[in-house]
Amino acid sequence: MKKLAWMIFLAAAVVSSARTAGWPAGTTVGTGFASAEPSSEEQVLRVMVFDPTSMKEAWDQLIELAREFEDDNPGVRVKLLSEGGGGDVLTKLKIMLAARQPLDVVAIDVLEFSTFLADGVLLDLQPYFDRDATWDPAAYYQTVLDAFRGPNGHLYGLPSTFTPYVMYYNMDILDRAGISYPTAGWTWQDLLAIARACTQRTDRGRQWGISITQWPQALAPWIWQNGGRFFNDDLTRCTLDEPEAVEAIEFLARLFHVEQIAATDATIEGQLTRGEFQAGNVALYGPVGYWEVYRFKEIRDFKWDVCPLPRGKEAATSIALRSYVGLRHSKYPELTYKFIRMLAEEKMSRTLAQIGNGVPGLKKVARSESFLKPDVAPRSEQVFLDAIEHARFLPVFANWREIRHLLQAELQDCLIFGKTDAKTACAQSAVKINEFLRRESYERNRPPAPVWLLATITAAVGLGLLAAFWICRGQPPHRLGRSEERAGYRFIGLWALGFVLFTMGPMLASLALSLTAWTSIRPISEARWVGLDNYYRMFADASFWKSVWVTVEYVAFSVPLSLTLALGLALLVRRGHAVFRTVYYMPTIVSLVALGVIWRWILGSDWITAVLGARWIESEHWIVPGFVLMSVWGVGVPMMIFLAGLQGIDSALYEAARLDGAPRWRLFAHITLPQLAPVLLFNLVMGVIGAFQVFAQPYVMTGGGPGNASLFYVLYLFKTAFRFQHMGYACALGWVLFLTLLGLTLLLLRQAKSWVHYEGATV
């Protein structure tokens, strides 16, 4: 049950390590530029801005900059940490901040700026700029520089790279269709005409006119160009239900379902996967940013280029931006500022421009041959610079990760699956987002929950459980029994201490925190009291009910299938060669992440698509059955337990039944199954618990998509805790799961009295 406790209280693990103030010195994380631990005289600057596996050229340049910085600042060592590993970059960063790991310089997306600023973790760089005689703000694009100014006008970061959203096009497809390449001033109707002309059947399969990207930054240009907006002027209400926004989504929906000229691959979950455009099956792709150049540079089968977005009622596009920022708890703020300046200067900017990471924020690099490379695709890179004139940022004021999650299911139901019309999808999205904004405002205005109160609740529940155990344990009937009991307590004392500190402690702490609104990036003293609101919230939370339904559906099919197959294999290998036992058990020791990657490839393969008529991994109807099918790979463990049970059955029972002329099916029904009943009950209980905790597979394979079709319960708990940073609500979700599993386990044990027997005694 220890595994169950840790999985349910994933959020509480962070809680138990959080401290109310201060950042511990000397903590080492990740892989450093220098391997030796710092001496007491060294000043160690910890920097996490790139992933060496996905951006090797940038990492190599970062190493050179670190060496230069160390040479210019004797006694300083720069420790480089990788952004990669263990999940997406932002989630990793937030977990490190929650655990109070020492960090000095990081890179964040502009959409996260207001959240980090509100949590008080960013270093105000303005005083250092004011004292720096070499600082020239005119060297940077003012639009992107101002994106990281706080409400006080102070600058908190310098741009790494940015990108306006544009359209990519396949030159070969347009050439074959005899269509001129799109240029500035082309319209939505021009796009419609091109996409119609290019959509056809070919010897390679379906060729699409356009692949439309579907995350908020990509959908915003269509809404803006039609005169719509995401929010009202004071950012208190979502306005997606206004006619202009609805008309824009209706236009996109028509491309998918009426015209049938749009591919469905460019979803939120599929942003960085190999899509139809890379395969050469799409004429137009977008809106999307410059980062695709880094992925598309390996394309050799066709020629491609970029063009501005088609124009609606007005010209508009989105901007994506990453900036280097310092963290407020840095021990060396002056060094942090200096290193940020170095990162944003010419050397790193040129490297990022040359590899296709984005448009440099530094003007002279953006206008140089490092970015404008006419002999390397795309040839029309000037398009990105021209688009700055009418580019806009999404309103930076709230947790856009959660807003994206709220939009995901509604918009995919409209655009991908055609289950709802644009008006319904926009109206339901607005309702969800407005409820989110209302809840955020409500929680910000709640009174703080004193630490002593949370500690009192935790201690009271713990003492109550201890008292209940002491009362229910009973008293040994004689002195020898009491002596043996005390000896037993002494033997398990150390284990019990570890259990209380590392399992029961976080569990009880999470119970107290489930009554608060809290982000683990903040000190626990800043948690706000909401009482039972987190539990009431579940009744109106559509994502919660969807995760419950998905998980129950999975449990209902995977557990019986796995038990049946495990028992069948155990019967087959009982008298077989030992090598077969090894072969059937081997899949259970494969990493779940590796298994997820393999099964994602299998379920997205062309032959599966040919059988089902759709990619299994992208079908909302087939995705859960796909996970059920995948679950049979884990039958090796229950198979071995069944095998042990089979080998423990007295062979005399079978011999006696055969002498009486019993056929094989009677031997199985009247001897094997009754004798295996205790083992079957154990595998059933463990199977149900394990199925309710499924997490790694959907996390790796689908991220909960398409829509929310694979949003399993523990995946939703993880997103709530570590992506959206609603730790109080995540703790409440954990306790609901715990109580559910406890109730199901007690129910199964109670029902087992009628069919499980131990040596003739009824349980």
The 3-state secondary structure of 697-721 reads HHHHHCCCCCCCCCCCHHHHHHHHH
Of 228, 222, 227, the closest CA to residue 241 belongs to: 228
Domain identity same for 310 and 424: yes
Q: Are residues 427 and 554 in the same domain?
A: no
The amino acid present at 8, given as its one-letter code, is: I
| Average pLDDT for runs of 10 along the chain of length 763 | 41 36 33 41 90 89 95 94 78 87 93 90 95 94 93 94 95 94 94 94 82 92 95 90 96 94 80 78 93 85 94 94 94 95 94 90 93 86 93 85 86 88 94 92 89 88 84 70 80 88 89 92 89 93 94 95 91 76 80 82 73 72 89 88 88 84 84 88 94 91 85 94 91 95 94 79 49
Tell me if residue 169 falls in helix, strand or coil.
Answer: strand
Sort 274 into a burial class: Cβ within 10 Å, 0-12 / 13-18 / 19+. exposed
Q: Is residue 457 part of a domain?
A: no
84 membership: H or E segment, kind and range = none
Residue 361 lies in a domain: no
Residue 584 in domain: yes
**Res 596: pLDDT:** 83
Q: What is the C-alpha to C-alpha distance for residues 253 and 246, in angstroms, rounded to an integer?
A: 10
Note whether 614 and 737 are same-domain residues: yes
Residues 422 and 548 in one domain: no
Torsion of CA 22, 452, 728, 120, to 10 degrees: -30
The pLDDT of residue 29: 33
Q: Say which CATH number the domain at 625 has.
A: 1.10.3720.10
Is the separation of the CB atoms in 400 and 439 below 8 Å?
A: no
Give the helix/strand (H/E) hosting 740. Answer: helix 727-751
Contacts 24+ apart (CB under 8 A), 348-356: 348/58, 348/61, 348/62, 348/65, 348/160, 349/161, 351/57, 351/58, 351/61, 352/58, 352/160, 352/161, 353/161, 354/57, 355/55, 355/57, 355/58, 355/294, 356/290, 356/291, 356/293, 356/294, 356/297
Residue 672 lies in a domain: yes
Letter string b/e over residues 599-636, b meaning 16 or more CB atoms within 10 A of that residue's CB? bbeebbeeebbeeeeebbbbbbebbbbbbbbbbebbbb
Q: Which domain holds residue 417?
A: 164-319+389-434
496 is a domain residue: no
C-alpha distance from residue 246 to each of 76, 135, 189, 239 (Å):
56, 45, 18, 10
How many structural domains does the chain have? 2
Question: Which helix (H) or strand (E) is 246 found in, with range?
Answer: helix 243-257
Is 144 in a helix, a strand, or coil?
A: helix
Asked, for residue 622, whether it belongs to a domain, the answer is yes
Q: Is residue 124 part of a domain?
A: no
pTM of the predicted structure, to 2 decimals: 0.85
Same structural domain, 730 and 594: yes
The answer as to whether 179 is a domain residue is yes
Q: Of 373, 164, 161, nearest to 289 (Cα)?
A: 164
Task: Let me know whether 547 and 661 are in one domain.
Answer: yes
- Quickly count: other Cβ atoms within 10 Å of residue 72's Cβ: 10
Beta carbons within 8 Å of 594's beta carbon, 6+ residues apart: none
Residues 395 and 266 placed together within one structural domain of the fold: yes
CATH number, domain at 248? 3.40.190.10
Using the structure block, give the residue that is written with the tokens 């209280």: 9
Peptide bond into 706 cis (omega under 30): yes
Q: Which residues pair with 391 in a beta bridge?
A: 317
Let me know how long the chain is: 763
Q: 307 and 179: one domain?
A: yes
The answer to whether residues 242 and 229 touch, using CB atoms and an 8 Å cutoff, is: yes
